[in-house]
Structure 1
Amino acid sequence: MSDDSRPSPAQVRAETGPHTGVAAVIPAAGRGVRLGPGAPKALRTLNGTPMLIHAVRALAASRHVTLVVVVAPPDGAPEVKSLLDAHALPGGTPSGSWGSTDFLVVPGGESRQESVKLGLDALPPGHDVVLVHDAARPLVPVDTVDAVIEAVRDGARAVVPALPLADTVKEVEPAATPGDPEPVVATPARARLRAVQTPQGFDRDTLVRAHETVTDDVTDDASMVEQLGLQVVTVPGHEEAFKVTRPLDLVLAEAVLARRRLNDGF
């Protein structure tokens, strides 16, 4: 499809009928220290393209997503906006556009939780389903994105993609000194455990309420909804939606992209 023939966000919303609009928030304000010195993690490149661009493309690949809000480092919003503009399709809206998906860039906060809240605050009306996606998961397949959206539209207040664990997990008593032996205190039943991924999907009102209510430092937004006493459900995740946090993950991500180019021409 040529750029001129791509549907506008308004056309996509009209075609999807009574469904509510879907927006995605991508917190990309972290430094990513485990990847070593250099650019922030979201701006590290895979196949010559920043991970953030891959992540935005992954969400924009869903025809349901009509807006992506990228939460930049507090002092890096102009740089991120320029980066997105450079990769956007021509003829977009004033905020920028990737085909049928618009994007906005807002400055982030000192924590991931604060950054997601700032992204939520920037959402215009009309987007009643909200995805929260890690910029460090640049290769999530569109089928996973759509599965999360469909589960929210079917009535779930909070949805997370998840995978069964391959390894046995041990609960330990943390050592007082890093590197010292740690005693095992329990072995949870592996069949009941899941490794959680993103995008996580939410009814907008529920996510807003969670961010207004929960003040504990959390590692994901679904756990905030759990603290409200509301149910979180899972849908099948995907092996390629792994999080890029260490140098070896960059190697694996490059390998996935190489396989996609070979198989799909992407």
Structure 2
Amino acid sequence: MEKYAVVVAGGSGMRMGTAVPKQFLPLRGKPVLWYTLTAFLDSFPDMQIILVLPEQYLETGKEILRSTYDPNRIWMTIGGETRFHSVRNGLQHIKKHSIIFVHDGVRCLLTPGLIRRCFDGAVDKGNAIPAIKAVDTIRIETVNGNMQIDREKVRIIQTPQTFFSDLIKSAFEQDFHESFTDEASVVEKLGVKINLIEGESSNIKITRPLDLLIAERVLEEREMGL
């Protein structure tokens, strides 16, 4: 089965408070995005990666690709106005029947093991969305104020969100809607049941300076075999 990862890295550095977008910030001597790409390269020897970047950062992207151990399995395309449009741009480059992973470029701590579990889940049920249980008390805003909800029924959604190519490519033929906050929401709009699998608590999204500190610690522990 052909395998393609669409890695979306079109974010800015606004919440990080840096001039450089967070996907390019240094993490233990390498850009954040380098770790994301390496995890996918390590997951399957035949994994192909489509990296979606803002046009003004294509040269930076090329430098990162050249620093990986197998740049021939990675190519780039330009992002769009929203995440939805960026993913659609990436999907247009995939012509073969395959399993497609869509991943946030700044979730740089994902493991090859998670990628392989997503593959198995998608092959089995058509799609696989990694998720973890909520550990905090959850309250939801209502017209009457707010109310506590059962956190045991809450799942925090991660990426890579993984689908058969025919399914996700068909879903992305729809017009954009504000409710499309991730790929699962786009596919679900077709009436498809979403299959959740166990994610990884370390699979955080690098958004704020604290996240970089956490990522450094996680990578350090992995290097030490902890």
* TM-score of the superposed pair, with normalisation by structure 2: 0.93
Match of 1:199 in 2: 160
The 1:116–1:35 alpha-carbon spacing in structure 2 relative to 1, beyond 3 Å, is same
TM-superposition CA deviations, 1:86-114 (whole Å, max 9, x none): x133xx6xxx33xxxx0111111121111
Runs (5+) with no aligned partner, structure 2: none
Match of 1:161 in 2: 130
- Structure 1 residue ranges, 4+ long, deviating more than 6 angstroms after superposition: none
| 8 Å contact from structure 1 (residues 62, 146) kept in 2 | yes
The 1:44–1:241 alpha-carbon spacing in structure 2 relative to 1, beyond 3 Å, is same
> Deviation at 1:81?
1.6
Tell whether 2:61 aligns with 1:80. Answer: yes
Residue identity over aligned pairs, in percent, reads 31
| 8 Å contact from structure 2 (residues 13, 19) kept in 1 | no
Q: Secondary structure at the match of 1:212?
A: coil
- Which amino acid in structure 2 is aligned with residue 114 of structure 1? H
| 8 Å contact from structure 2 (residues 84, 176) kept in 1 | no
Runs (5+) with no aligned partner, structure 1: 1-19, 175-181
The 1:205–1:66 alpha-carbon spacing in structure 2 relative to 1, beyond 3 Å, is same
C-alpha separation in 2, matches of 1:45 and 1:53:
10
| 8 Å contact from structure 1 (residues 74, 109) kept in 2 | no
Match of 2:15 in 1: 34
> Deviation at 1:173?
4.5
* TM-score of the superposed pair, with normalisation by structure 1: 0.80
| 8 Å contact from structure 1 (residues 145, 199) kept in 2 | yes
| 8 Å contact from structure 1 (residues 59, 142) kept in 2 | yes
C-alpha separation in 2, matches of 1:228 and 1:60:
31
- Which amino acid in structure 1 is aligned with residue 207 of structure 2? T
Tell whether 2:207 aligns with 1:245. Answer: yes
Q: Secondary structure at the match of 1:229?
A: coil
- Which amino acid in structure 2 is aligned with residue 235 of structure 1? I
Q: Secondary structure at the match of 2:116?
A: helix
Match of 2:173 in 1: 212
Q: Secondary structure at the match of 2:211?
A: helix
Matches within 5 A, 1:214-229: 214-217=175-178, 218-229=180-191
TM-superposition CA deviations, 1:40-92 (whole Å, max 9, x none): 1111111011111100011111116520000011222232122211x133xx6
Q: Secondary structure at the match of 1:39?
A: coil
> Deviation at 1:127?
4.7
Aligned residues: CA RMSD:
1.8
C-alpha separation in 1, matches of 2:187 and 2:175:
9
Q: Secondary structure at the match of 1:187?
A: strand
Stretch of structure 1 that moved more, 139-148 or 69-78: 69-78
